[in-house]
Chains A and B, each alone.
Chain A
Amino acid sequence: MFLKKLLFKNKTQDIAPESGTGSVLIKGDELKRSVDKVFGRSLFVRLVDSGSCNACETELSALSNPYYDLERFGVKFVASPKHADVLIVTGCLTRNMLNPLLKTYENIPSPKFVITAGDCTETGGPFKDSYSVCGPVSKYLNAVIHVKGCPPEPEAVVSAFLKFMDIVKASAAC
C-alpha cells in the first residue's frame, strides 16, 4: 500500500526536476549517440581508487542518482575489469595500491583506455611528497583524458566522457 502511494506520489520529475539539469541532458544525448555508434550501445567503466580522500568516489557514485543517471546514456560502472573498456583512476597513487592498480589495468581486454579523475591523479595533491605515495598515476599509465577538480563535479565527468568519445571517434577515423 505504502509502496503504491510512494510510486504515484513521486514522479521522476519530482525526484529530479529538469530545471538546472538541462545541460546534463543535452550532453547526455550526445554522449548516448556516440556510445551507440562506437561502443555498440554500452561503454563499460571500471573504477580504481588509488588513494583518494573518498570525495571523488562520492561524486562518481552521484552519477547514478536520478539527477544524472549515467546509465541511460549507455555508460555503466562494472564490477569486473574483464568487462571494462575504460579504467577510471582517482587518488594520489599510494605504494600499496600500485600493484592492484596495474593488475586491474592488465586484466582489462584491449583496446582499453584510461581516464584520470581528480587533481590528486595529476599532481599527487597535498600528498605528493609523502613517503608512502609513488604517484602520480601518469608515471605508470597513459591517460586519454584527465578530469580536473577536487573532486570533479558529476557534470564535469559527463563532459569528460563526451570529450573522450570525440577522441576515440577521431582516432578510429584515421
Chain B
Amino acid sequence: MNKIMIDKHDIESDDFANSAENLKTSGKYLLGIVAADERVLNSKFSVRYFFGGTEGIEEYCVKTDESFRSISKICPAAKMYEREIYDLFGLLPEGHPDLRPLMLYPENWDSSVHPLRKDYNGVIPEMKKYGGYKFKEVLGEGIFNVLVGPVHAGIIEPGHFRFSLAGEPVLQLEIRHFWKHRGIEKVCEGKDFKETLDIISKISGDNGVNIAISYLEAAESILNIEITERAKYIRVILAELERMWNYVRDVAWIFMDIGFALPAQNLFGLQEELMRLNKNLSGHRFLFNSLTVGGVNLDLDSAKLKAIEETLKKVENIIKDSEEFILSSSSVLDRLEFTGKINKKTAEELSLCGISARASELPRDTRAEFPYLIYGRLNLKPYILDGGDVFARTALRIKEIYLSKKIISDLSSNLPEGNIAVSFESKPEAYNYAVGNSETSRGNAFFYIMADDKGKIFRLKYIDPSFRIWPSIQYGVLGNIIADFPLINKSLNLSYAGNDM
C-alpha cells in the first residue's frame, strides 16, 4: 500500500506562527488547514496545518481552546481557511486582516452559532437578517462598479462578482462565494464509510471519480484495506476518462467564449461521446457509483475495452485539429496570449495547484508529487509552462488530454487479472485519522478523515482545488478589460460546488 507518510509535529500556536516563514522559504507550500473539535479526546480544539513539498507531507498540530495565531500575513493562502474556521468553529485567528463571515451569511445566520462544534445542538437559526456584509470599496472620479451574480446569465453555478472599473480595465475584483454551501462536512459526521462515499461523490459532480479516489485513499488507509491490482488499474482508467472529458469541455468553452463556434461544437460533440462512453462502461454518464470501498463496482471486459479504444481514436483526431486551430490562427492567439496572467509569485503565495499552478511554472501534480494507486509506477513528469495566461492553461489542457489518452491505452492493454473488489470486516481504530490525495482536472483534492469509537466518521474535511484557486482570479483579471473576464474564468474553470461545500 502506498500509504502517504506524514511527518507530524505538535507545536504551540505562537511558535508555529514564527516558524511559518521558514517553512515557506524552504520551498514547502500550504496544502490546507483542518480544524476539529476534539474536546471529547483532550478537551481542546485542534488546528492542523498540512504542508506539501518535495519530501512529502508535513503536519503541524496546534491545540487550542478559543483562538490561535493567524499566519495569513506570512502565508496568504491561509486566509480563506482561517476565515472558514472562524465561521464554523468560532475559533479566533488572532491578527487576521479580514474576518468577515465566509459561508454562514449574516443575512440569514446567527454568527454566534458554530455548526461544526460538537456541542452544536442542531437548532437552526430562524431565517431572518442578523447583520450585513460589507464589500470593499474603490473610490475616485470616474470609477464605477459592475455587480454580477449570484444568478448568472448562462447555465452556470451561482457566485457574486464585483468589478471596480475605470473605463474598461479592471482595477479590482471582489468575489463573494459560498452561495451553495451545503454543509457537507457536518452531514458526513456519524455516517459510515460507505454512506459517506455516496455523499462525497456529490461534492462536485464533474469530478466525482477523482474526488472519490482521494476519499478512498484516506478511508482505505484507516480501514487497512489493500485493494487488488485490477481495481487500481480500473480506478486509474476511470479517473483519466473523467479528466479527459473535463478537459475536452474546458477547451470547448474557451473556443466558445472567443466566438469560434465550429471547433467549440466539435469539442462539445466529443464531450458527449465521452459521456456516452461513460454510460456504456458504468451505466452512468458521470461514472457515479463506479467506485466502492475496497475496489470498484464495474469490470472492464473486452467489449468495453474496445469501446474505449474506439473513442480514444476519435479524441486524438479532434484534439489534433483543435490544437492546429489554436496554433495557426492569429486571432485566437491574440485573445488567449497575455490574457489573465497569474504570475509565478502569486501562484506560489496562494499555494495554487493543478493546471493553474503548472501554467505558472509550478510543477504541481499530485500524481507525481504524492503518487497514489499506480501513478508512482508511471513516472509522470508534470508538464509546465511559464506564460501564466489563458493560452498556457489551454495548451496544458490539450497536452493533458494526450497524456490521459496514453495512460488509458497503456493500462487497458495490460489490465491484470483478479477480483475487482475485496470484502472487509475491519473496523477503524478509534480516533485514528488519515489523509488522502488525488489530482482532479482542477488540481489537488485533499481529504482528512478521523474515525470515532464506533467506526463512523468523527470529522471529515475536504479541500477542493477550487477553494485554493478561486482567490487567484482576483489577481489574474487586474488590468485586463472586463470583457475578457468570462474567458479568464473559463480558462481556470473552477467548481463553485466544490468550493462552497
Which residues of A22-81 have CB atoms within 8 Å of chain B's CB atoms? 47-62, 64-67, 77, 79-81
Instruction: Give CA–CA (A97, B122) in the complex, Å.
Output: 21
Contact between chains at A15 and B182 (CB < 8 Å): no
B311-334, CB < 8 A from A: 321, 324-325, 328-329
**A contact residues, total (Cβ < 8 Å):** 54
Q: Are B198 and A132 in contact (CB under 8 A)?
A: no
Interchain CA distance A50-B151 in the complex, whole Å: 9
Q: Given B105, B151, B206, B325, which contacts A55 in the complex, CB threshold below 8 Å?
A: B206
**Interface flag for B462 (CB, 8 Å):** no
| B157 and A57 contact, CB distance less than 8 A | yes
Contact A125 to B328, CB < 8 A, known contacts A53-B497, A65-B265, A99-B107:
no
CB distance from A32 to the nearest CB of B (A): 20
Give B177's nearest chain A residue, CB to CB.
A96
- Given A52-B497, A54-B157, A98-B127, are A65 and B272 also a contact pair (CB < 8 Å)? yes
- Is A144 engaged at the interface, CB distance under 8 Å to the other chain? no
Bound complex: CA A64 to CA B267 (Å): 12
Bound-state CA distance A15–B272 (Å) is 10
Q: Is the CB of B154 within 8 A of A79?
A: yes
What CA separation (Å) do A67 and B274 show in the bound complex? 13
CA of A60 to CA of B265, assembled, Å: 15
Chain B residues near A125 (CB, 8 Å)? Answer: 202
Q: Is B182 touching A94 in the complex (CB atoms < 8 A)?
A: yes
Q: Is the CB of A58 within 8 A of B205?
A: yes
In the complex, what distance in Å separates the CA atom of A64 from the CA atom of B179? 26
Of A2, A59, A99, A127, which contacts B325 at CB under 8 A? Answer: A2
Once the chains are docked, how many angstroms separate the CA of A2 from the CA of B103? 48
Interface contact B157-A95, CB-CB below 8 Å: no
Q: Are the CB atoms of B497 and A130 closer together than 8 Å?
A: no
How far apart are the CA atoms of A72 and B77 in the complex, in Å? Answer: 46
Question: B269 contacts A131, CB within 8 Å?
Answer: no
Q: Is B138 an interface residue (CB 8 A)?
A: no
**Residues of A close to B206: CB separation below 8 A:** 54-55, 58
Contact among B156, B268, B288 for A150, CB-based, below 8 A: B288
State A79–B149 Cα separation when bound (angstroms).
11
In the complex, whether A134 has a CB less than 8 A from a CB of chain B is yes
Q: Which residues of B contact A64 (CB under 8 A)?
A: 268
Contact B324 A2, beta carbon cutoff 8 Å: yes
Interchain CA distance A66-B252 in the complex, whole Å: 13
Which B residues are in CB contact (< 8 Å) with A47? 155
Known: A15-B265, A62-B271, A104-B151. A129 touches B205 (CB 8 A): no
Contact A97 B182 (CB under 8 A): no
B180 is contacted by which of A2, A65, A91 (Cβ under 8 Å)?
A91
Contact of B156 with A131 in the complex, beta carbons under 8 Å: no
Given known A2-B328, A127-B187, contact A62–B272 (CB-CB < 8 A)? yes
What residues on A are CB-neighbors of B105 within 8 Å?
Answer: 95-96
Alpha-carbon distance A150/B289, docked complex (angstroms): 11
Q: Mark interface residues in B27-44 (1 if CB within 8 Å of A CB, else 0).
A: 000000000000000000
Instruction: Determine if A145 is an interface residue (Cβ-Cβ < 8 Å).
Output: no
Report if B139 contacts A (CB, 8 A).
no
- Interface positions of A from 87 to 108, Cβ below 8 Å from B: 91-92, 94-100, 104
| Residues on the B chain within 8 Å of A10, using CB | 262, 266
Is A7 a contact partner of B178 (Cβ separation < 8 A)?
no
Q: Which residues of the partner chain B approach A3 to less than 8 Å between Cβ atoms?
A: 262, 329
Is the Cβ of B179 less than 8 Å from the Cβ of A97?
yes
CB of A16 closer than 8 Å to a CB of B = yes
Binary contact track B200-223/A, C-beta < 8 Å → 1, others 0: 001111101000000000000000
For the A-B complex with A62-B275, A99-B108 known, give 16 more contacts whose Cβ atoms are closer than 8 Å. A6-B263, A6-B266, A15-B266, A51-B179, A53-B203, A53-B208, A57-B156, A57-B157, A65-B272, A79-B154, A96-B107, A96-B178, A96-B179, A96-B181, A97-B179, A97-B180
Sampled A-B contacts (20; CB under 8 Å) = A2-B329, A6-B266, A10-B266, A48-B158, A50-B180, A53-B497, A54-B157, A57-B155, A62-B271, A64-B268, A65-B269, A66-B269, A77-B155, A79-B153, A95-B105, A96-B108, A96-B178, A99-B107, A126-B199, A133-B183
